Chains A and B, each alone.
Chain A
Amino acid sequence: MADLAALTLREARDLIAARELSATELTELTFRRIAETEPVVHAYVCLDEERAMARAAEIDQGGATGSLLGVPFGVKDILETGGLATEGGSRLLAGNVPERDAETVRRLRSAGAICIGKHVTHEFACGQDDLPTRNPFDLARYPGGSSAGGGVSVQVGSSLLALGTDAGGSVRKPACVTATVGMKATHGRVSGAGTIPQASSFSLDHVGTFTRTVEDAAIALNVLAGYDPRDPRSIDVAVPSYTDGVGDGISGLRIGVAPATFRADDMQPEVVSLFEAALSTLEAAGAELATVELPSFEHALAALFTIFPAEVSPTHRRWLSERPGEYHERTRRLLLLGTLIPSEHVSQASRVRALLRDEAARVFANARLDALVTPTLPCVPPRFDEMVPGDFGSLIPFTGPWNLTGQPALSVPCGLTPDGLPVGLQVVGRPFDEATVFRIGAAYEAEACVESRAPFPSPS
């Protein structure tokens, strides 16, 4: 019998294709794993067991096709799922059951993947409220947000693939602190249609994935990428196969580092140490490192923290007036701030954003970079009792800038500290060049062979 705690998406898919494992067996295993882990980690909001088992039986009867046949996946609870509650982590959407799937959910189902349930999110993905989700590496530490349930679920094996959204790091950050692989493709590459509007900062938000390996992320993007006329942000450009070259290695690739922008002084020493080791690993794998500067990026978070609330707040006007008491207090205040920010702030933030985008393009071109790397987070997952409620700015200085530029970015496990806490390596690519990002991530993963499994936690 397969061990879900160790299985990858590709292995599961291949076992099912070879009829060494049935979709029904895998789905049953998944729900058994959920029963073991949920009392401790609380990654799911709700489950869709009856429909999942029915779909698995259909697949086992034969006739279904697709590259993800039988793969169990979970969905952040701000992406719509037809016939299954989508509540956005908020009392304001209690009982909301959409009629149709978000485009990304539809694509996964069409490829044969089986939706298991919905993953925990911060209320409207705003990062303000306290979550029940716990980090399997240390239950007293931050599990990531806002797509908290996705990273935790993939880490403990209660799903093999999870969909999240990322407007400042909300896929890469939980991936980093749970030692999973988090990927957001270029803005416009993956449809955002079916993200509940109250949780979407439309110019910053990217639908992304959690997987256990870089290859699994490439397999998922093969299904998810592509033009969608339902989403006005979607861009009609050719989609390559992301798996074809993923194992080609990185000999001769030029990888940028920007130590004056992403400063060691701003990182915990354990992060610096593991990041420097990662750079040595990339060099040993044949990459050439190049030091570059991105001086305008010091203003990235000010721009992001202006644009994000300004974009999200307008969809809440009516509820803020009529049902203010149903929000978590900190979510309500963030959204109210979005209604009060002067328009000149938003205008100037948008101009600075354009400057950052042009600076990144110029630096990548002039230095002939194939990608740039940073730590994903400057710190290990903080203890809950060390965190300032609602303040996630200190956690996203390395991820947020790439939501402003819209470039593809991947977080891959970069090892554990001596205390057993995960650190992530972020690989940022050129627009629409996710294939190179995957190549670098996969080469690092293969060369470094870092530990990325959490000891399954016992209830505290």
Chain B
Amino acid sequence: MVHRMAKPKSSFDASDVVRLGELAGISLAAEDAEALAGALAGHCDMVAPLFEFRLEDAPVATIYDPHWRG
């Protein structure tokens, strides 16, 4: 079975970013929000190919820590 994830949203405006910042607990200056709207869209475009990977092909490492001595 192949799992494909939806392509992330790649268009943002400054008000989107301000709201995201609020959700993250950070108040953003207007000029930062403007710049980050472009940066975030660019980031989404950049990572989109990562979502073409099938999840079962990407192994998840064990959480067991070999140094743990209990």
A residues neighboring B (CB under 8 Å)? 232, 235-236, 299, 302-303, 305-306, 317, 320-321, 324, 332-333, 336-337, 339-342, 344-345, 348-349, 351-352, 354-355, 358
Contacts and interface: CB of A to CB of B under 8 A. Distances in A.
A352 B8 contact: no
Contact of A341 (B26, B43, B57, B58): B43
A324 B35 CA distance: 15
A324 B27 CA distance: 10
Given A299-B49, A354-B61, A345 B5 contact: no
B5 A302 contact: no
A354 B54 CA distance: 13
B32 A303 contact: no
B55 interface: yes
A303 B50 contact: yes
Contact of B50 (A321, A324, A339, A348): A348
B53 A344 contact: no
Contact of A336 (B5, B21, B44, B50): B21
A348 B61 CA distance: 13
Contacts of B8: 342, 344-345
A349 B55 CA distance: 11
Contact of B60 (A232, A302, A341, A351): A351
Nearest to A296: B53
B61 A352 contact: no
Interface in B1-37: 5, 8, 17, 20-21, 24-29, 32, 35-36
A303 B47 CA distance: 7
Interface of B: 5, 8, 17, 20-21, 24-29, 32, 35-36, 39-40, 43-44, 46-47, 49-51, 53, 55, 57-61, 67
B25 to A, nearest CB: 7
22 contacts: A302-B50, A303-B50, A306-B43, A306-B47, A321-B25, A332-B32, A333-B35, A333-B36, A336-B21, A337-B40, A340-B40, A341-B43, A344-B5, A345-B8, A345-B50, A348-B50, A351-B55, A351-B58, A352-B58, A354-B58, A354-B60, A358-B59
B59 A355 contact: yes
Determine the main DSSP class of A at the interface with B. Answer: helix
Given A317-B26, A355-B53, 7 more contacts: A232-B67, A321-B26, A340-B36, A345-B44, A349-B47, A354-B61, A355-B58
A352 B53 contact: yes
A348 B44 CA distance: 12
Nearest to A354: B59
A336 B32 contact: yes
B67 A336 contact: no
A324 B20 CA distance: 17
B36 A336 contact: yes
B51 A348 contact: yes
B38 to A, nearest CB: 10
10 closest Cβ pairs, A-B complex: A351-B58, A355-B58, A339-B24, A348-B50, A302-B46, A345-B47, A340-B20, A352-B50, A354-B59, A302-B47
A345 B55 CA distance: 13
Nearest to A335: B26
Given A317-B25, A321-B25, A339-B21, A349 B50 contact: yes
B26 A339 contact: yes
A306 B24 CA distance: 17
Contacts of B17: 340
B26 A299 contact: no
A306 B51 CA distance: 13
- Which of B25, B26, B57 has its CB near the most chain A CB atoms (within 10 A)? B26
Contacts of B50: 299, 302-303, 306, 345, 348-349, 352
A303 B26 CA distance: 25
Contact of B43 (A305, A324, A332, A339): A305
A391 B29 CA distance: 22
